[in-house]
């Protein structure tokens, strides 16, 4: 089967039970995407499929032929950090770093969702103008857990990128 990851196509063979997460890490060798809970609860495995953030642990690799898959490695590189990577660095938005790739990929896509005007559970109005307040950022990022609890700095990093965008 052919998979497109970070713009590169890969011809891969795998057991049909393989999650997209395991395929990325074990077969393709992109280990930036982390396996935390493996049950969709922690968000460490967040990647983009056709631009949307999903939990790569809860989807079968076999279901993604032809999809555009983006991992943390596709967002930026040590020599060319993405704005969100740069902001996490600037704001010290991590402690142990294990959840960080998932946080950054999730936050990047979350800003796209907010840019489309998608409301959240904490939005006062479903139709009114939406501002990415700290409360909005926390709610929209609730699928990414940080066991070190670096949330204040994670939120600051995201808020900086969000502010730059508006």
Partner 1 sequence: MREFQFARAADPAGACSAAAGAGRFIAGGTNLLDLMKLEIERPEKLVDISRLPLDEVEETPEGGLRIGALVPNADLAAHAAVRMRYPVLSRALLAGASGQLRNKASTGGNLLQRTRCYYFYDTAMPCNKRDPGSGCGAIGGFNRIHAILGASDKCIATHPSDMAVAMRALDAQVETLKGDGSTRSIAISELYRLPGDTPEIENVLEQGELITHVVLPPPPPGRHAYRKVRDRASYAFALVSVAAIVAVEDGRITSARLAFGGLAHMPWRDPAVEDLLVGQAPGEEAFRRAADKLLENARGYGGNDFKIPLARRTLMATLHDIAGGRA
Q: Which residue has the tokens 């709610």?
A: 139
Among the listed ranges 76-84, 92-100, 113-121, 158-166, the one in contact with partner 1 (CB under 8 A) is 113-121
Cα 89 to its chain centre, rounded Å, is 16
**Contact between 70 and partner 1 (CB under 8 A)?**
no
Residues 6+ apart with CB under 8 A from 125: 119
Among 33, 70, 100, 106, binds partner 1 (CB under 8 A): 106
**Contact between 112 and partner 1 (CB under 8 A)?**
no
**Contact between 100 and partner 1 (CB under 8 A)?**
no
**Contact between 124 and partner 1 (CB under 8 A)?**
no
CA dihedral sign of residues 73, 77, 81, 87: positive
Which spans in the chain are helix H? 20-22, 72-75, 83-90, 100-115, 134-140, 151-165
Among 1, 115, 118, 134, binds partner 1 (CB under 8 A): 118
Compute the distance between CA of residue 143 and CA of residue 46 in angstroms, rounded to an integer: 9
Note the residues at the interface with partner 1 (CB under 8 A). Answer: 16-17, 19, 38-40, 43, 46, 52-55, 58-60, 62-63, 106, 109-110, 113, 116-121, 123, 126-127, 138-144
């Amino acid at each position: 089967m052919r998979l497109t990851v970070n713009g590169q196509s890969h011809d891969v063979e795998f057991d049909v039970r393989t999650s997209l997460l395991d395929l990325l890490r074990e077969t393709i060798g992109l280990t930036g995407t982390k396996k935390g809970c493996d049950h969709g609860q922690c968000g460490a495995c967040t990647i983009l499929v056709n631009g949307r953030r999903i939990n790569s642990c809860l989807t079968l690799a076999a279901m993604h032929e032809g999809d555009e898959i983006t991992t943390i490695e596709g967002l930026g590189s040590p020599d060319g950090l993405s704005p969100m990577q740069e902001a996490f660095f600037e704001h010290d938005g991590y402690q142990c770093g294990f959840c960080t790739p998932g946080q950054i990929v999730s936050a990047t896509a979350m800003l796209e969702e907010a840019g489309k005007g998608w409301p959240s559970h904490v939005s006062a109005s479903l139709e009114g103008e939406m501002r990415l307040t700290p409360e909005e950022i926390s709610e929209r990022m609730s699928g990414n857990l940080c066991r070190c609890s670096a949330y204040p700095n994670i939120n600051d990093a995201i808020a900086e990128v969000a502010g730059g965008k508006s």
